[in-house]
């Protein structure tokens, strides 16, 4: 039987542990806090992150990293900006033949690196994959039908990992375009903040559809500049994820956009409360990366200015609406 460990006891980590267990793998969920691990072990419920969802008895809960790291497949479900420090911390203990699957969405601030690039830098010899797609933790945890993309450099590894983690209601599609999957997963959170602001300002569904479409164009431009495959942006991790995140209040990023749009201001307290709202960090990191690659990202640029440079929301909306109309063709 394949052993799977999920590192990170938040809502998404807990949902992924349920996914792995339902796919009949021997599964372990690692939590940083020993008290939380003990409490969940007793109650069989992650009351803080996913209240009301009972965890099966055969799902191991632990606060011991050493125990969790001795697995065939390790799913990394921690905030994107903490990935470098965490992987540095565990690199001595990760078995060389394990498969490390990144389940965090983001770009590193200051370096413009994707999560996979950080891990290749620290652990060049390990197999690195990315799991991403239109998946809210609660939907996945209660067993709603959902789909995701799993991408590894070697397509055979992707196929094996995808089939090992798939079950009837959680369908995983294999891919070998790590860059496209990561860029899609990261940038759609920034577009979702924009969609939230537009919703709060009373712009209708037509405006949101335009935002999603132009947002997908930005994601595609940045991805292609980094060597992604264009078809990735039409799959679950591209169109699927941006549509979900920009149309539901379950999305942390869209909810933040709505709060900003209503309050008309971004406060320090708002940003401090957003440690798990990855779009806040990605807005900054995406602009850094776009600058290196000489790619235009007008929506991401506007959101970055609103979040990190106290720019006027109305001013940024006017700037977006007054951009020159370009031919609707992607140049390759």
Q: Quick one: pLDDT at residue 275?
A: 65
Hey, what are 314's tokens? 């109305």
Note the pLDDT tens digit of each residue in 113-149: 999 999 999 999 999 999 999 999 999 999 999 999 9
- Domain borders along the chain are 3-176, 179-321
User: Which one of 3.40.50.720, 3.40.50.300, 3.50.30.10, 1.10.3720.10 gives the CATH number of domain 3-176?
Assistant: 3.40.50.720
**272: annotated active-site residue:** no
Query: What per-residue confidence (pLDDT) applies to 327?
Result: 66
What pLDDT, on a 0 to 100 scale, did the predictor assign at position 168? 96
CA angle 124, 79, 262 (to 5 degrees): 145
The list of the chain residues with pLDDT below 50 reads: 331-332
Q: Residue 156 corresponds to which tokens in the numbers above?
A: 């055979």
Decide if domain 179-321 falls under CATH 2.40.50.100.
no
**Contact present, 132 and 149 (Cβ < 8 Å):** yes
Instruction: Give residue 332's pLDDT.
Output: 43
CB 164, CB 73: distance < 8 Å: yes
Which of 48, 66, 188, 305 is the catalytic position?
188
Q: What is the DSSP letter of 261?
A: H
Q: Is 171 exposed, middle or buried (0-12, 13-18, 19+ CB in 10 A)?
A: middle
Report H helices in the chain. 11-22, 34-43, 65-69, 83-90, 115-122, 137-141, 155-165, 178-200, 205-225, 241-245, 252-263, 268-272, 278-293, 298-308, 313-321
Does this chain's domain 3-176 share its CATH topology with 179-321?
no
């Amino acid at each position: 039987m394949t052993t799977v460990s999920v590192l990170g006891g938040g809502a998404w980590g807990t949902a992924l542990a349920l996914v792995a267990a339902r796919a009949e793998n021997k599964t372990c969920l690692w939590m940083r806090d020993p008290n939380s691990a003990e409490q969940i072990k007793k109650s069989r419920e992650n009351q803080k992150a996913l209240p009301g969802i009972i965890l099966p008895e055969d799902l191991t809960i632990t606060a011991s990293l050493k125990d969790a790291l001795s697995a065939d497949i390790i799913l990394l479900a921690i905030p994107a900006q903490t990935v470098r420090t965490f992987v540095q911390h565990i690199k001595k203990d990760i078995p060389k033949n394990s498969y490390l699957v990144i389940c965090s969405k983001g770009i590193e601030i200051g370096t413009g690196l994707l999560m996979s690039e950080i891990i290749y830098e620290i652990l060049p010899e390990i197999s690195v994959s990315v799991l991403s797609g239109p998946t809210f933790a609660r939907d996945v945890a209660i067993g709603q039908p959902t789909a995701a993309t799993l991408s590894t450099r070697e397509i055979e590894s992707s196929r094996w990992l995808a089939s090992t983690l798939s079950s009837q209601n959680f369908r995983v599609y294999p891919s070998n375009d790590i860059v496209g999957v990561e860029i899609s997963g990261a940038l759609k959170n920034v577009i979702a903040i924009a969609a939230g602001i537009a919703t709060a300002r009373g712009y209708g569904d037509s405006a949101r559809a335009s935002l999603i479409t132009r947002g997908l164009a930005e994601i595609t431009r940045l991805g292609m500049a980094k060597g992604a495959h264009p078809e990735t942006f039409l799959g679950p991790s591209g169109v699927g994820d941006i549509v979900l995140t920009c149309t539901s209040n379950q999305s942390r990023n869209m909810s933040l956009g709505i709060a900003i749009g209503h309050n008309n201001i971004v406060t320090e307290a708002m940003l401090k409360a957003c440690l798990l709202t990855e779009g806040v960090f990605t807005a900054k990191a995406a602009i850094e990366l776009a600058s290196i690659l000489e790619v235009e990202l007008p929506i991401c640029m506007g959101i970055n200015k609103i979040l990190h440079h106290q720019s006027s929301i109305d001013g940024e909306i006017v700037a977006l609406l007054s951009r020159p109309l370009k031919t609707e063709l992607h140049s390759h």
